[in-house]
Amino acid sequence: MTERSYLVATNRQAYHDYFVDETIEAGIELTGTEVKSIREGKVNLRGAYARIKDDQVWLENVHIAEYTQGTYMNHAPLRNRKLLLHRREINRLAQRIQAKGQTLVPLKLYFKENRVKIELGLCRGKKLYDKREAIAERDSQRELARIMKQRSR
């Protein structure tokens, strides 16, 4: 991300459930009240995913809360949103998803030059033992940092 961008939401659950092999930046087709609600930080990526349907990529199960000052023209919080990618990228992603059994998961939502962007991850699912291994690694790193801090005093 550049200096004129800022992070709005992160899907921490995705990093726990999946191995991220590759990341792709995509634009999102949004309404005005959705952008205003995202600026307020009222967005949740947990449980969200992207699907390729009819040669287009759709973002599903992302909750963007209704804008508080919105009128009867307010948006539906859980509607499917179209992602903006080049045709070449969509074709490559479709091949990778079918061939290797991977899935598209939104990882981060952010503003870049006043445009809302989403970082998609091409992911493989983790097994239960992989999750346990990651937790054990994190705990050992935390313990090591604590010991090093005590020794430096």
C-alpha to C-alpha distances, 101 to 61, 121, 123, 131, 142, nearest whole angstrom: 20, 13, 9, 19, 34
What mean pLDDT comes out for the span 100-115? 89
Total-model pTM = 0.77
Least confident of 44-48, 85-89, 123-127: 123-127
Query: Residue 55: which region, alpha, beta or left (left: phi > 0; alpha: psi -120 to 50)?
Result: left
Instruction: For residues 38-56, give the mean pLDDT.
Output: 89
Domain ranges of the chain: 5-126
> How far apart are alpha carbons 126 and 142 in whole angstroms?
22
Going by pLDDT thresholds of 50, 70 and 90, the confidence category of residue 108 is very high
CATH number of 5-126: 2.40.280.10
What is the per-residue pLDDT for 26? 92
Q: Is 143 or 5 the better-scoring residue by pLDDT? A: 143
pLDDT tens, residue by residue, 76-100: 788 899 999 999 999 998 888 888 8
Tens-place pLDDT, residues 1-11: 556 788 988 98
Between residues 56 and 4, the one the model is more confident about:
56
